[in-house]
Amino acid sequence: MRIKDGFVLREVAGQGVVIATGEASRDFHGMIRLNGTGEMIWKSLADGRSEERIVEELTERFDITEEQAKTDVTAFVRQMRDNGFLVD
């Protein structure tokens, strides 16, 4: 699983925003604002990390349980899939 070519994260006023560039921008005309957790998951996905590894990272970095981290990562990945940002 990886992020589709053309979808990029930009830092704007201290917040992450995902937009489409290149061919991807022909179909996706929006922007997605991410909070800190979302931004971290996005960057980890961009680096090619697995969902399991991202859950570990979240629990290490933030004061949350593994269960909560799993819920967050699963929800985020599902949203990204629904938006067509991910390919297997």
Partner 1 sequence: MTERAWSEDIERILETEGLFVSTTSGTSMWPMLRDRRDTIIIRPIADVRPDGVLHKYDVPLYRRETDGAYVLHRVIGVSGARSETRYVIRGDNTYTPEYVRPDQVIGVLSDCYRGNRRIDLGGRPYRLYVRCWVAIYPIRHCCRLLRGALARTPLKGLYRACTGR
Stretch 26-55 residues interacting with partner 1 (CB under 8 A): 26, 29-35, 37-38, 41
Q: Is 54 exposed, middle or buried (0-12, 13-18, 19+ CB in 10 A)?
A: buried
> Does position 7 bind partner 1 by CB under 8 A?
no
Does the CA dihedral 27-29-31-32 come out positive or negative?
negative
Q: Which helix (H) or strand (E) holds 11?
A: strand 7-12
Q: Find the binder of partner 1 among 1, 5, 23, 66 (CB under 8 A).
A: 23
Contact positions toward partner 1, by CB under 8 A?
A: 8, 10, 12-13, 17, 19-23, 25-26, 29-35, 37-38, 41, 72, 75-76, 79, 83
